Structure 1
Amino acid sequence: MKPILPERTPLTEDLRHQFRESQLLGAVGAIGLVLQAVAIGLFSGLTIGIFRLAYSTLNATSVQRATQWLDMGWRGLAIIAACLAALCLLSGLLLRIEPMIGGSGIPQVELAQAGKYPPMIWYRVLAAKFLATLTSLTAGLSVGREGPCIQMGAAIGVGVGSFFHGRHAQDMHRYLSGGAVAGMTSAFSSPIAGVLFAIEDMRIVLDRRMFLFLFIAALTAWASVSGILNLPLVMPFSRLEILSLGQTWIILPSSCLMGALGAAYSRALIGCTLWEDRCTQLTGWKRLALPFFFSGALLYAYPTVLVGFGPSQVGLEMTSLTLASLAVLFLVKSAFSCLSFASGASGGILMPILMAGAVAGSACAKALLFFGLISEPQYGTAMAACIAGFFSAVVRTPLCAAALLLEMTGAWSSFPVIVAASLISGWIADATGTRPVYECLRNRILEQQARAREA
């Protein structure tokens, strides 16, 4: 009698593609692997580092100018309206030149990596994404630079691959993946989180060669932004005293709250985007112009919600805002982030997620401090744990979320607390039945492609 053997799990086409790419990567040899990874990391780090510096300069200038114009009455209102209209027009023109740059860019890269998205013209994507994202950020839209940095990194990866393989590099998994990891690292100065994001969200299967390729690209990108350009920590909290063993229980209720809030944020973001997809009155320029209009309205009605006018993540550490003010800021900021992303303007969702998590985390830390459950030197630690939990609940990448907050804040002594918060919040979001945000966005693109083929 023949023994009954377990059935083998069939490999998906995506997995076959990844394994084939790893074999081809081994064929270039150790020196070729290192040189290509270093080139991707170096060019990604320098390009995205310059992008970060340009954004900081433009944001400071636009805040200064807008403040002056606010004091000029109706004349200032006309100038602000004209500037926002010009920025909206520029954003729309760049989207027409390169439609791939709409939104975050991460779902497009992940689908291209799986062979489910048209190949990119890397130099056009890089230039258009660079300019369009700066346009959105300068206009005050609540979008992030991190998703665009991942797409720009992927474009640079394809560009490096084109030097070796010509147009065939557009279909080579390793260049998209290596560039995306370098882009994530450059955006946050976080090489560990960059590699973990590739594993958890991009679902890259790592063997020895692929891991080495991605890690070298990430380390080179980190060295470029931190060593060559000398960019500082993204969230340099100062009150990072570790929690005592008797205080660690507070992580459970805090993480449950962040998990529930993160799930609600994710549902609102996807719901708003899908609603605008179905709304026949919001098409073309009308849809794109909506957040630009609200940016101008908020500049007059509630400027605290706009970057540069309100508190930053670090500014929320021991903020003087009351719990009620933080609750209002969270709701308005979240709503404006959903509206900004749903418009299709170039810009990501990662930094708005971190900002919403920082507001919620500051409110949570303030409540814990009020009841004497933490001390003032532990405020930043509680905030970091809450931000990691909120990020994990939305994106559903708990290890990446923990690594990201550890690298951005430098709170390495609180490693167990931040990891636990990420895992618990992610589990709570799973329990609500909410799907990961990037999975929803990938499915949305696939459905749009299917409808386009049927038409």
Structure 2
Amino acid sequence: MKDRNNTYNTLFHWHNFRLKLVMQGIVVGALSGLLVVLYRFLLEEVGDLTHKIYVLQTQKSYLIPIWFIILGLLAYIVGIMIKKEPMIGGSGIPQVEGILLRKLNVNWLRIIVGKFIGGVLAIGAGLSLGREGPSVQIGASVGQGFSRIFKRVKIEEKYLITSGASAGLAAAFNAPLAGVMFALEEVHKNFYPLVLLSAMSASLTADFVAKNFFGLKPVFDFRRLYVLPLNQYIYLIILGIILGIFGVFFNKTLMKTQDFYTSKKWLPVEFRPMIPFLMAGILGLFLPQVLGGGHELIGSLVERKYTINMVCIILIVKFIFTMFSYGSGSPGGIFLPLLVIGALTGDLYGSVIVKYFHMDSQYISNFIILAMAGYFTAIVKAPITGSILITEMTGSFSHLLPLTIVSIIAYIVTDILNSEPIYESLLERLLHKKGNNEFRGDKSKKILLEVAVCLGTELDGKMVKEINWPHNTLLVAIKRGEVEIIPKGKTTISAGDYLIALVNEDEAGEITHKLKKMAGDFVIENVNNC
């Protein structure tokens, strides 16, 4: 009865709901920010310790076998954690999207603890994984935990999860606007004002917390950036095409690598991390530049420390190591590794142009930045997020126009090649083996759904009475800008409207899918056409 009263209370106090979400977003942002700051700090400390161990091994070779034994034990610990809680494996972003689609159900506290410890062990040991995916999942779990502890209604929980995800990315990269845009463009899949308000309040709060610990400098310190002349923009088209093709190859290879691990029936889940952990031990002795996410590697590219041949070697090894690291299911994201691979591609591309087409070498840094954004767009297919993310991470707006051009071209190429966004592909695979994590609602509970209506879709321009609504679906409100309409049979639905529907919790996932397909809003199989 209390859940039902909360649902009705949300309906009848919809106007005040926005202010409530903003305040809750601030709290979730602060909590998420503190957790992610601690996560970043531990990753840096453990990473420094690992680096010192490898330096020490060059002086005292008898430590090498001891270190490999330690790596094997750490890999087994991480493997056992993944076996006990499969939802902590990988990036964490597909899991968050699955929860928001009401396809997955997880224990938020176990996710926070498991992802935190597992991520520190895996990334700290040198696996080619990033901190951003775990940060997003940790933040989303904080939002879900806040909702469960204070017994928020389901639609409110959805906003809080999105807010926490936004805060996690903002704190991970000191990029509050990218955190907001990622929550809207990738996680929530629409630009609903309520999502924007809650995500922005959480993201800005988390960024404020992170900057109090790590300072105001951007993540990547690109000194002496020069504006690329307009007569050199022809090179951007070629770069965009290359990045689009490389992005498709990245996605296909990543999925094939997961298939490789799955096909090895003799290799149990708890032993799969052994492969990348031992690879890290070998690479740490011969090519330590490829270890970890790769933040320092981008800095060394800017300082021009490597020859073209060396960049090629690092690029190939980093790519292969990233595939094996992520494919094993170890806790960690692909954001930072893919940005590093993009940066290496841009550096190589710029160096070739300088060598053979006599461009000024001062513009190589520009190609590094542009390639990071283009490669991100080609893989994730979130061009706005990619452009804003790289702009915030580099602290420079001088490259915004060329950056957008490269991103758009890379996106078009991946579209032509029918490449799906990587997180949607990973989510689809995750849903096939969800097992005990399948969402099972309570038939006695009622929850609210909200769906955006897109232009030219089945609902656009139709009257409410003309639509064949899914069974057990009650349309209770239509939001049109700042106006809230109580729907009647003759009420016409227009593109841009947000539909608020009341459904049984156990049918929410199926009805959400049907409504979004009718409205043209995000569906797993399709690209958003809003």
The TM-score, its normalising length taken from structure 2, stands at: 0.76
Of 30, 45, 57, which aligns to 2:33? 45
Superposed displacement of residue 170, structure 1: 10
Matches within 5 A, 1:17-416: 26=14, 29-73=17-61, 75-118=62-105, 120-165=106-151, 172-227=157-212, 229-230=214-215, 232-307=217-292, 312-371=297-356, 374-416=359-401
* Aligned counterparts of 1:20 and 1:109: Cα–Cα separation in 2: 27
Superposed displacement of residue 171, structure 1: 8.4
The residue identity in structure 2 corresponding to 1:101 is I
Contact conserved, 2:75 with 2:271, CA < 8 A, in 1? no
Superposed displacement of residue 58, structure 1: 1.2
When residues 71 and 22 of structure 1 are mapped into structure 2, their CA distance, relative to the original with a 3 A threshold, is farther
* Aligned counterparts of 1:58 and 1:25: Cα–Cα separation in 2: 48
Counting helix residues as a fraction of each chain, which structure ranks higher? Answer: 1
Structure 1 unaligned regions, length at least 5: 1-18
When residues 451 and 94 of structure 1 are mapped into structure 2, their CA distance, relative to the original with a 3 A threshold, is closer
Superposed displacement of residue 450, structure 1: 7.3
Contact conserved, 1:304 with 1:310, CA < 8 A, in 2? no
Could you give the per-residue CA deviations for residues 44-103 of structure 1, whole angstroms, max 9, x where no partner exists?
112111211211111111101221023212x21122112202211321232244321011
When residues 55 and 449 of structure 1 are mapped into structure 2, their CA distance, relative to the original with a 3 A threshold, is closer
Superposed displacement of residue 267, structure 1: 1.1
Superposed displacement of residue 109, structure 1: 0.6
Contact conserved, 1:144 with 1:350, CA < 8 A, in 2? yes
Superposed displacement of residue 22, structure 1: 9.2
When residues 389 and 156 of structure 1 are mapped into structure 2, their CA distance, relative to the original with a 3 A threshold, is same
Could you give the per-residue CA deviations for residues 201-249 of structure 1, whole angstroms, max 9, x where no partner exists?
2243333222111111111111111245426311111132111121222
* Aligned counterparts of 2:290 and 2:258: Cα–Cα separation in 1: 21
Superposed displacement of residue 311, structure 1: 5.3
Contact conserved, 2:131 with 2:333, CA < 8 A, in 1? yes
When residues 322 and 20 of structure 1 are mapped into structure 2, their CA distance, relative to the original with a 3 A threshold, is farther
* Aligned counterparts of 1:312 and 1:20: Cα–Cα separation in 2: 54
Partner SS, residue 202 of structure 1: helix
Residue 13 (structure 1) aligns with:
none
Residue 8 (structure 1) aligns with:
none
* Aligned counterparts of 1:309 and 1:394: Cα–Cα separation in 2: 18
Larger Rg: 2
Superposed displacement of residue 372, structure 1: 5.1
Superposed displacement of residue 258, structure 1: 1.3
Superposed displacement of residue 373, structure 1: 5.3
* Aligned counterparts of 1:451 and 1:132: Cα–Cα separation in 2: 21
Superposed displacement of residue 278, structure 1: 2.3
When residues 387 and 71 of structure 1 are mapped into structure 2, their CA distance, relative to the original with a 3 A threshold, is same
Could you give the per-residue CA deviations for residues 354-411 of structure 1, whole angstroms, max 9, x where no partner exists?
1111111111121222245543332222210111111111111111111111000012
Please provide the CA RMSD for this pair.
Answer: 2.6
Could you give the per-residue CA deviations for residues 287-325 of structure 1, whole angstroms, max 9, x where no partner exists?
221111211122234333224999511211142322222
Sequence identity of aligned pairs in percent?
28
* Aligned counterparts of 1:254 and 1:212: Cα–Cα separation in 2: 36
Superposed displacement of residue 30, structure 1: 4.5
Contact conserved, 1:104 with 1:349, CA < 8 A, in 2? yes
Contact conserved, 2:82 with 2:270, CA < 8 A, in 1? no
Counting strand residues as a fraction of each chain, which structure ranks higher? Answer: 2
The residue identity in structure 1 corresponding to 2:71 is L
Of 415, 418, 438, which aligns to 2:423? 438
The residue identity in structure 1 corresponding to 2:52 is Q
Contact conserved, 2:29 with 2:204, CA < 8 A, in 1? yes
When residues 367 and 148 of structure 1 are mapped into structure 2, their CA distance, relative to the original with a 3 A threshold, is same
When residues 416 and 180 of structure 1 are mapped into structure 2, their CA distance, relative to the original with a 3 A threshold, is same
When residues 297 and 266 of structure 1 are mapped into structure 2, their CA distance, relative to the original with a 3 A threshold, is same
Superposed displacement of residue 441, structure 1: 0.3
The residue identity in structure 2 corresponding to 1:83 is I
Q: Which moved further from structure 2: 261-270 or 220-229? A: 220-229
The residue identity in structure 2 corresponding to 1:104 is S
Residue 16 (structure 1) aligns with:
none
Q: Which moved further from structure 2: 201-210 or 30-39? A: 201-210
When residues 61 and 449 of structure 1 are mapped into structure 2, their CA distance, relative to the original with a 3 A threshold, is closer
Structure 2 unaligned regions, length at least 5: 1-6, 439-530
When residues 213 and 322 of structure 1 are mapped into structure 2, their CA distance, relative to the original with a 3 A threshold, is same
* Aligned counterparts of 1:53 and 1:224: Cα–Cα separation in 2: 13
